[in-house]
Amino acid sequence: MEKNNSGSGKMKIITAVLVIVTLVAIGVSVWALFFRSDDNGNALLAPDYAPVSIEKYAEDIGDDSASKLEQTEGGGAVSMSYSTEVGISLSEKTVSLFFENPGKSNQDVVIQIVIHDTVVAQSGRITPGKRVTMLDLPNNMSSSLEEGGYNGKIVVLYYQPENGEKAILNTDIPVNINVSY
């Protein structure tokens, strides 16, 4: 009588394929969670929690933050001041803008400068009572951008200050962006 080894051989092949598929799935998951960036090499903002770092260029506004905006349980209330003109200096690798998160707001914010659906600069957390007039331009952006005028936007992302959880709402502010050397 002959033994039929073809059944056990098929089982080994199926097992090997399943192990390979599992390892590939784990690798893709680790990459997506920890190493993913956009097409320009910018690290993407974690979608659910605010970055730990406070924006290094944030400065006190000096407004009276004693009277916070009223908010409902689990909600938020924000106030902001901004300019629709943004300048990018490729030689200095800086972004000049005006954005305030007044003290009466009760949400932290992160702002992104976006041209053609590409995030070209991003702030750290801006807490209530702070303003930002400058951001760093990532090194890879200075070689990706060309001199000229662009229609862009400031994307404002809101976060709960107590736990860093992202709010449901984002705001897009249309801006004129002037890129120069």
The CATH number for 95's domain is 2.60.40.2550
Range of the domain at 97: 59-180
Same domain, 23 and 89: no
Same domain, 27 and 103: no
Same domain, 13 and 70: no
Same domain, 69 and 117: yes
Give tens-digit pLDDT for 18-68: 899 898 888 877 766 655 544 434 444 545 666 667 778 878 787 655 666
Same domain, 76 and 162: yes
- Classify residue 13: in a domain, yes or no: yes
Is the pLDDT reported for residue 161 higher than 70? yes
pTM over 0.75: no
Three-state DSSP at 168 gives strand
- Which residues fall within 8 angstroms of residue 101, CB to CB, at 6 or more apart? 78, 79, 80, 107, 108, 109, 126, 127, 128, 129, 130, 131
Same domain, 64 and 16: no
